[in-house]
């Protein structure tokens, strides 16, 4: 059994980093069961995806369990505005992004359990059409940040009711930023120009901790914490010709935020309800500054720390079928003065449904999530095609921002 466990972990390390990633930045779609309940799962934490949501919960799991899954995300957004007195509009490319995940848990003894997870915790992706004026802005054509996380954990049952967990985290980051260098501006505001592409990567080590507590027969509580991860990205900027200060090697410090989950779940008979608060400390993500490229300049962020509130429920129809639903209020960390085309996200409502099917040693979980994002006004310095020149400012409104998300996990117990 141990040999099979090692082979599965090794396969995950080679397969998952090559996968695509989703639109959005903080990714909570890490398991279909949780997604079906609005991501409210850190107190239940009773399947292998608990390695992400609350690893202390894996002491509840018997034997060895392997869960392999993915989420499909289909995002859309559009823009209407004006530049230099002329109307402009555009929309994002039609794409389906894939978020893979793999989890393994094994009960070492009555007190100690081991878990391993491979997942993508952050994934920024906005891919706009090439012929819009925003292509002249930093990241105006395409902005991608993908983080591939590998997370072994140990969970220890201190008492029959209290479990604690700690883990080691390795996180790899890939960054791609694409825009256009204007060659005939303002005569041509179509976004045509020299294609500019910045690519870089980084890898850092970190940790995470969690706690899980049962109170009587009906209540469960959970808490988990993942601290900020400080990446030092090394990369290269390229276009069709060498331009001093614009092309060449660069370095960029990117700090991804700390994330805290606080959760409570209540069960009675066939019903389970859970409420989670997710606190993300986005203020640590304060700028995107490619040092060594003064012609590109600093991209300030100045984001806020925010909460996401998650409420979910499950009804156990019988031994074979569970039905689930949830709702999420996800507050945007981006103040109006720092909105930009790389991520024009506002406050969101998300609505979820899901189901679980049990067949002996196999569990199949499916979920659907609809994301409805508010419109955002765009009128700040990030829209200046020529740095420091407000006359060249692109301004308008990002609108029709939504996404359809589908998730599937297959779990095998042995």
Q: Which pLDDT does position 234 carry in this prediction? A: 92
pLDDT in tens, 24-58: 377 888 999 999 999 999 999 999 999 999 999 99
Q: What is the pTM of this model?
A: 0.88
pLDDT in tens, 143-174: 778 889 999 999 999 999 999 999 999 999 99
Mean pLDDT calculated for residue range 210-220: 96
- What does the pLDDT read at residue 340? 80
**Is the pLDDT at 228 greater than 90, yes or no?**
yes
pLDDT of residue 182: 83
| 251 CB-near residues (< 8 Å, 6+ apart) | 232, 233, 234, 235, 290, 291, 292
Query: What is the structure's pLDDT at 109?
Result: 96
Report pLDDT digits (tens) over 359-406: 999 999 999 999 999 999 998 888 888 877 888 899 999 998 888 999
**Would you say 385 and 187 are in contact if contact means Cβ atoms under 8 Å apart?**
no
Query: Binning pLDDT at 50, 70 and 90, where does residue 191 land?
Result: confident
- Enumerate domains of the chain plus CATH numbers: 2-413 (2.40.160.60)
Contact 156, 59 (CB under 8 A): yes
CA distance 77 to 144: 16
Q: Is the pLDDT of residue 19 over 50?
A: no
Q: Report how far residue 277's alpha carbon sits from residue 274's, in angstroms, rounded to the nearest whole number.
A: 10
Mean per-residue pLDDT of the chain: 87
Check residue 297 and give its pLDDT: 63
């Amino acid at each position: 059994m141990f040999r099979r466990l090692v082979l599965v972990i090794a396969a995950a390390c080679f397969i998952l980093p090559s996968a695509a990633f989703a639109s959005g930045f903080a990714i909570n779609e890490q398991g279909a069961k949780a997604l079906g309940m609005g991501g409210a799962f850190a107190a239940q934490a009773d399947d292998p995806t608990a390695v992400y949501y609350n690893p202390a919960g894996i002491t509840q799991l018997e034997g060895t369990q392997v869960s392999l899954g993915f989420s499909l995300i289909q995002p859309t957004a559009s823009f209407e505005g004006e530049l230099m007195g002329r109307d402009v509009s555009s929309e994002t490319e039609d794409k389906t992004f894939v978020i893979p995940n793999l989890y393994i848990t094994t009960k070492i003894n009555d007190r100690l359990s081991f878990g391993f997870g491979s997942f993508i915790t952050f994934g920024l992706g906005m891919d706009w059409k090439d012929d819009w004026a925003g292509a002249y802005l930093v990241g105006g054509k395409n902005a991608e940040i993908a983080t591939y996380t590998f997370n072994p954990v140990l969970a220890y049952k201190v008492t029959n009711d209290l479990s604690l967990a700690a883990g080691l985290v390795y996180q790899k980051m890939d960054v791609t930023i694409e825009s256009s260098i204007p060659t005939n501006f303002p005569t041509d505001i179509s976004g045509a120009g020299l294609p500019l592409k910045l690519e870089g990567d980084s890898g850092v080590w970190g940790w995470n901790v969690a706690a899980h507590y049962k109170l009587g027969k009906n209540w469960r509580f959970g808490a988990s914490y993942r601290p900020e991860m400080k990446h030092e990205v090394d990369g290269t900027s390229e276009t069709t010709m060498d331009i001093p200060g614009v092309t060449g090697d660069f370095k960029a410090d990117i700090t991804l935020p700390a994330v805290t989950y606080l959760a409570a779940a209540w069960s009675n008979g066939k019903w389970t309800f859970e409420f989670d608060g997710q606190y993300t400390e986005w203020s640590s993500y304060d700028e995107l500054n490619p040092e060594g490229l003064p012609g590109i300049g600093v991209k300030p962020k100045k984001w806020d720390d925010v909460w996401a509130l998650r409420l979910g429920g499950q009804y156990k129809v019988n031994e074979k079928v569970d039905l689930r639903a949830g709702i999420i209020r996800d507050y945007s960390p981006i103040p109006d003065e720092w909105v930009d085309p790389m991520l024009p996200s506002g406050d969101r409502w998300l609505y979820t449904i899901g189901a679980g099917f049990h067949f002996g040693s196999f569990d199949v979980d499916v979920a659907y999530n609809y994301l409805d994002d508010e419109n955002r006004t765009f009128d700040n310095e990030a829209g200046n095609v020529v740095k420091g020149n407000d006359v060249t400012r692109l301004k308008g409104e990002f609108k029709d921002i939504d996404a359809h998300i589908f998730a599937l996990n297959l779990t095998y117990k042995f």
